[in-house]
Amino acid sequence: MQRVREAQQSVYRFMPPTPQYAWPLINQRLGCEAWIKHENHTPLGAFKIRGTLLYMESLRRSQPDLKGVVAATRGNHGQGVATAARMNGVQCMIVVPHGNSLEKNRAMMAQGAELIEHGQDFQESLEFAQALAAERGFEMVPSFHETLVLGTATYALEFLEAAPPLEVVYVPIGLGSSISGVSAARNALGLKTEVVGVVASQSPSYSLSFSRRQILEAPAATELADGLACRKPNSDAMEIIWQNVSRIIEVSNEEIAQAMRALYYDTHNLAEGAAASSLAAAIRESESNHGKRIGLVLTGGNVDARVFTRVLAGETAV
């Protein structure tokens, strides 16, 4: 607990705590009291900045002569790495798969990152980034690491302390740092809140690995929820998930698009597909949650305008 509170103070030098609200129209839609943690309200529009700030602080302490950093991403992790690198005067290279979000690419370059497109999915980008880091003598910034989880635990502790007691909380799973941080905060507070993971049905690697108790690869075909597009689960993340998460729900592109529309119409908040998946799962389970108090993590709002325009028009934008 002390480590998380110390980490919060480091994060708060860059940004204030994000809010959590219970929106009346969302409550009507779900038939329960739903509290939303708004990580779309960070300065980068997503939760990733918390962990990357802490990671870069640690890296600079251990490597004063750090030449540069490399990361692979679909967008939000890369924005966090690029921002933290810029703040510390460190060169940054970001690898994204071909066809990545144009607006996320622009945001990373605006933070000073050198952007490289390579591979057809995140896994191919990751493997190329690891080779590039070794070739250049740069530090590879992973997408899952204990320090990154510590960063996500800072928002989870804010959420679980500020909201009334929650019976269940729905958390999107990209590579696993968010749900690991929520689990850590839940355990530290001694709460009985059920932690439920959410993945895209077109990227089911974590769901399959969870149910079969072994690491399994699966196609990562979702474009609408690009932050959930993971072909190969992280083994450390899976260990935490197996020990702390009650179940993982797969939601379709259609359900994600419906949730994106609901968040806009009911709260006037932008949610990227990955972030809206928590509401999509709650809508799916609205009957069993009737009358309960639940939590939804809205992990980010960085959705391309062309995608969001199509979603609002009633399409799934895939």
Number of domains forming the structure of the chain: 2
Instruction: Supply the range of the domain harboring residue 130.
Output: 48-140
Residue-level pLDDT at 316: 80
Burial of 167 (0-12, 13-18, 19+ CB in 10 A): middle
The answer, yes or no, to whether residue 23 has pLDDT greater than 80, is yes
Residue 227 has pLDDT above 80, yes or no: yes
Model pLDDT, residue 2: 92
169: Cβ contacts below 8 Å, ≥ 6 apart:
159, 160, 182, 186, 193, 194, 195, 196, 294, 295, 296, 297
**Is 301 part of a structural domain of the chain?**
yes
Same domain, 180 and 306: yes
pLDDT in tens, 124-151: 999 999 999 999 999 999 999 999 999 9
Q: For a pLDDT cut of 70, what percent of the chain falls above it?
A: 99
Q: What is the pLDDT of residue 1?
A: 84
**For residue 213, is pLDDT > 90?**
yes
Task: Give me the CATH number covering residue 114.
Answer: 3.40.50.1100
Give me the pLDDT at residue 317, please: 61
**Does residue 133 sit in the same domain as residue 39?**
no
263 and 181 co-located in one domain: yes
pLDDT at 37: 98
Residue 167 lies in a domain: yes
Within 10 angstroms of residue 67's Cβ, the number of other Cβ atoms is: 11
Is there a single domain that holds both residue 111 and residue 155? no
Last residue of a domain, one of 140, 175, 205: 140
Beta bridge partners of 197: 171, 248
Q: Which residue among 140, 157, 175 closes a domain?
A: 140
Q: Are residues 191 and 164 in the same domain?
A: yes
For residue 318, the model assigns a pLDDT of 58
Which residues does 65 contact at the CB level (< 8 Å), separation at least 6? none
Write out the two tokens for 112: 């000073």
In this structure, are 181 and 90 located in the same domain?
no
3-state secondary structure 51-71: HHHHHHHHHHHHCCCCCEEEE
Do 55 and 42 share a structural domain?
no
Rounded Cα distance, 7 and 184, in Å: 14
What are the tokens at 97? 């798969």
pLDDT at 121: 87
The pLDDT of residue 179 is 98
Residue 152 and residue 291 in one domain: yes
Higher pLDDT, 247 or 222: 247
* pLDDT (tens digit per residue) in 50-109: 999 999 999 989 998 898 999 999 889 999 999 999 999 999 999 999 989 889 999 999
Task: Identify whether residues 31 and 14 lie together within a single domain.
Answer: yes
Contact in structure between 288 and 317 (CB atoms under 8 Å): no
The pLDDT score that the predictor gives to residue 222 is 79
Per-residue pLDDT reduced to its tens digit, 258-295: 999 999 999 999 999 999 999 999 999 999 999 999 99
- pLDDT at residue 253 greater than cutoff 70: yes
Task: For residue 131, give Cα distances in angstroms to 112, 135, 162.
Answer: 21, 6, 43
